[in-house]
Chain A
Amino acid sequence: MHAKIPPLPNLLDCADLTPQLVASLFDRAQHWLGSWGQPLADSETSKQPTVRPRPLERPLAGLVQHNLFFENSTRTSVSFDQAGKLLGSSVSAVNMAASSLSKGESLYDTLMTLAAMRPQLVVIRHAASGAAAFAAQHLPDVALINAGDGRHGHPTQALLDAFTIQQNKGALTNLSIAIVGDILHSRVARSNLYLLQMLGAQVRLVAPPQLLPAGVEQLGASVHHDLASGLADVDVVMVLRMQEERMGGSFIASRADYFAGYVLTHQRLAVAKPDAIVMHPGPFLRDVDIASELADDPARSVILAQVEHGVAIRMAVLERCALSREWIAP
Chain B
Amino acid sequence: MMPNPILTHNAHLLCAASGLNGLGWVLSEQGVIRALGHGEAPADLLAQPDLAKVDGRGHHLIPGLVDALTLAWPWQVARPPEDAASFLAARQAGGIAVAAIAASPAQPIDDLASLQAALFNLPTNQDAHSPATPLLINLTKGGGGQQLAELHRLLDAVPSGHIAGVADLSANAASLGLLQRAWMQAGALGLTVHHLPLEASLAAGTEAIAGEMATRLGLAGLWPAAEAVTLARDFALLAAVLPTVPRLRYHAALVTTAGGVAAVRAAKAQGLPVTAATAPPYFLLNDLALSGKNVGNNGSDFDSAAKLFPPLASEGDRLAVVAGLADGTIDVIVSAHQPVSLDDKRQPFGLAAVGISALETVLPLSLSLHHQHGLPLPTLLAKLTDAPARLLGLNRGRLQIGCPADYRLLDLHRGWQIQAARLHSRCQSTPFEGALVQGVLVG
Q: Which A residues fall within an 8 A CB radius of B?
A: 13, 106-108, 126-131, 133-134, 136-137, 149-153, 187, 190, 213-216, 218-219, 248-249
- B residues neighboring A (CB under 8 Å): 201, 204-205, 207, 210-221, 223-224, 298, 300-302, 343, 346-351
Are B302 and A134 neighbours in the complex by a CB distance under 8 Å?
yes
B351 touching A107, Cβ below 8 Å: yes
Q: Which residues of B contact A213 (CB under 8 A)?
A: 210, 214-215, 221
Which residues of chain B are within 8 angstroms of A126 by Cβ–Cβ distance? Answer: 348
Are B221 and A107 neighbours in the complex by a CB distance under 8 Å? no
**Which of B212, B343, B350 is in CB contact (< 8 Å) with A215?**
B212
Q: How far is the CB of A136 from chain B (nearest CB, A)?
A: 8
Q: How far is the CA of A215 from the CA of B350 in the complex (A)?
A: 19
**A214 close to B221 (CB less than 8 A):** yes
Cα-based distance from A187 to B221 in the complex (angstroms): 15
Complex alpha-carbon distance, A158 and B277, angstroms: 45
- When C-beta atoms are compared, the residue in chain B nearest to A215 turns out to be B212
Closest 3 CB pairs of A and B: A152-B218, A130-B302, A151-B218
Given A107-B351, A133-B300, A134-B347, the answer on whether A214 and B211 have CB atoms closer than 8 Å is yes
Evaluate whether A128 and B350 lie within 8 angstroms (CB atoms) in the complex, with A152-B218, A153-B218, A190-B216 already known. Answer: yes
When A214-B210, A215-B211 are in contact, do A106 and B217 touch as well, CB less than 8 Å?
no
Q: List 13 A-B contacts (CB under 8 A).
A: A106-B347, A108-B343, A128-B347, A128-B349, A128-B351, A131-B350, A133-B301, A134-B302, A134-B348, A149-B218, A151-B219, A248-B205, A249-B204
CA distance A215 to B214 in the complex (A): 9
Across-interface contacts of A249 in B (CB, < 8 A): 201, 204
B287 vs chain A, min Cβ distance (A): 10
Q: Is the CB of B302 within 8 A of A133?
A: yes
Given A106-B346, A106-B347, A214-B210: A219 and B215 interface contact (C-beta under 8 Å): yes
Name which residue of chain A comes closest to B221, CB basis.
A214
Residues of B with C-beta under 8 A to A128: 347-351
Which residues of chain A are near B343, meaning CB under 8 Å?
106, 108
CA distance A19 to B222 in the complex (A): 34
Q: Are B217 and A219 in contact (CB under 8 A)?
A: no
Report the Cα distance A107→B214, complex, angstroms. 22
Given A137-B298, A150-B348, 10 further pairs, Cβ under 8 A: A128-B347, A129-B207, A130-B217, A130-B349, A150-B219, A152-B217, A152-B218, A190-B216, A214-B210, A214-B211
Residue of B215, B298, B347 contacting most chain A CB atoms (<10 Å): B215
Are A131 and B348 also in contact (CB < 8 A) when A137-B300, A214-B210, A214-B221 are?
yes
Q: Please give, as numbers and ranges, the residues of chain A lying within 8 Å of B221 by CB-CB distance.
A: 213-214
